[in-house]
Homo-oligomer: A and B are copies of this chain.
Amino acid sequence: LASAPAVHAAQPALRWRLASSFPKALDALHAAAEQVAQQVSAATGGRFQIQVFAANEIVPPFGVLDAVREGTVECGHSASYYYIGKDPTFAFDCAMPFGLNSRQQNAWLVDGGGMALMRELFAGYNIVNFPCGNTGAQMGGWFRREIRSVADLKGLKMRIGGYAGQVVSRLGVVPQQIPGADVYPALEKGAIDAAEWVGPYDDLKLGFYKVAPYYYYPGWAEAGPQLSLYVNRQGFDALPAEYRQILESACAAAHVAMQARYDARNPAAMKKLIEGGAQLRMFPRDILLACQKEAFALYRETAAANPQFRKVFEPWNRFRSEQHLWTRIAENSVDAFVGRHPVE
């Protein structure tokens, strides 16, 4: 059958630039921005083009929010917890230690009042935000030596970013900010003792297992870190209504696909890591409990000092608490059963 012709002569032709916080080497992260661009182009017969630039091509990785805010680029793809130095409230849009997993994050945003709160936060930065990807629960990081108790954290030099760095610093860890490419040599030389990165699929590429073989879980710091598409407010408002919808729907498709790619690719990567010598270890319970306690102490201190944070934290925390109980019943119980009782 011949397709009906679609003519777009009267729709505006637009060419946008998208600055990503991620290098092409983190291909599962980077692909989300490419997918948004591809679907937007396909849905508009090529009239609305978004050109994707990887980290540092036109904007440095942590400069994406400002670049979109100021209209240097029309849009960007980033992780909102990169901006907790501006306002810790940004962490709710990405990952809070011991916070929501990826499904719970979707639930909070779509139907739990979260999107209105995040839109209000981003409005203060001249940005319209859309969820655009999630890695799922990450791993807890690579350690040169086993960690047996809270006492082992004292003085530990660890590459760990954002809010989680603040949490573990309360237990004596010395958080380090080191670019991805420098982590391996720092671990190898013993300049640092441990490093948090992403999960098996991304971690395998950097080879950390060769120099820091103890691979800890669960990734309590990032139980469901979300990526977001940032759109400059004036640019968004100037779009035809059709293009606004097309952009939003394309973000949803990329949101599903990123998590799916990580989930599909992590098991084979984990197998290779273990074959290569990675030693899987679960964080001891006393460490998890101590980190959890410090995380919530930090949240409460932040809420006391920052009204914007408090306005989000209080409803988020009630939502989180109910979600954690519910997830334990339905989802966790079936996942746990099939995990413990494998069928070949």
Which of B106, B240, B259 is in CB contact (< 8 Å) with A4?
A: B240
Which of B98, B136, B238 is in CB contact (< 8 Å) with A3?
A: B238
With A43-B249, A253-B253, A334-B223: A106-B260 Cβ-Cβ less than 8 Å: yes
Which of B4, B10, B137 is in CB contact (< 8 Å) with A238?
A: B4
Flag if A12 contacts B6 (CB, 8 Å).
Answer: yes
Flag if A39 contacts B243 (CB, 8 Å).
Answer: no
Flag if A11 contacts B7 (CB, 8 Å).
Answer: yes
Which of B6, B108, B246, B292 is in CB contact (< 8 Å) with A343?
A: B292
Interface string of A235-268 (1 = CB under 8 A from B): 0011111110110111011011101110111111
Flag if A328 contacts B335 (CB, 8 Å).
Answer: yes
Residue A123, interface by CB 8 Å: no
Least distance between A166 CB and chain B CB atoms (Å): 17
Q: Which candidate, A55-63, A157-165, A168-176, A317-325, is the interface stretch facing chain B?
A: A317-325
Flag if B339 contacts A101 (CB, 8 Å).
Answer: no
Residue A117, interface by CB 8 Å: no
Residue A83, interface by CB 8 Å: no
Flag if A342 contacts B325 (CB, 8 Å).
Answer: yes
Least distance between A298 CB and chain B CB atoms (Å): 12
We find that the number of chain A residues with CB closer than 8 angstroms to chain B is 99
Give the nearest-CB partner of A268 in chain B: B322
Q: Is the interface of A mostly helix, strand, loop or mixed?
A: helix
Flag if A219 contacts B263 (CB, 8 Å).
Answer: no
Residue A5, interface by CB 8 Å: yes
Interface positions, chain A 11-28, Cβ under 8 Å from B, are 11-12
Which residues from B are CB-within-8-Å of A257? 110-111
Flag if B9 contacts A110 (CB, 8 Å).
Answer: no
Flag if B259 contacts A106 (CB, 8 Å).
Answer: yes
Which residues from B are CB-within-8-Å of A101? 331, 334-335
Flag if A137 contacts B331 (CB, 8 Å).
Answer: yes
Least distance between A109 CB and chain B CB atoms (Å): 7
Docked complex Cα distance between A243 and B30 (Å): 26
Interface positions, chain A 294-344, Cβ under 8 Å from B, are 296, 319, 321-344
Which of B240, B288, B329, B333 is in CB contact (< 8 Å) with A6?
A: B240
Docked complex Cα distance between A150 and B13 (Å): 65
Residue A44, interface by CB 8 Å: yes
Flag if A288 contacts B239 (CB, 8 Å).
Answer: no
Residue A218, interface by CB 8 Å: yes
Flag if A110 contacts B338 (CB, 8 Å).
Answer: no
**Hey, which bits of chain A sit against chain B, CB under 8 A?**
1-12, 39, 42-45, 98, 101-104, 106-112, 136-139, 199, 217-220, 223, 234, 237-243, 245-246, 248-250, 252-253, 255-257, 259-261, 263-268, 270-271, 280, 282, 288-289, 292, 296, 319, 321-344
Question: Would you mind naming 25 contact pairs between A and B with Cβ atoms under 8 Å apart?
Answer: A7-B11, A10-B10, A39-B245, A39-B249, A42-B242, A43-B246, A45-B241, A98-B343, A110-B260, A111-B260, A111-B261, A111-B264, A137-B334, A219-B330, A252-B252, A264-B319, A267-B322, A282-B333, A292-B337, A292-B343, A296-B343, A325-B342, A327-B335, A328-B340, A332-B336
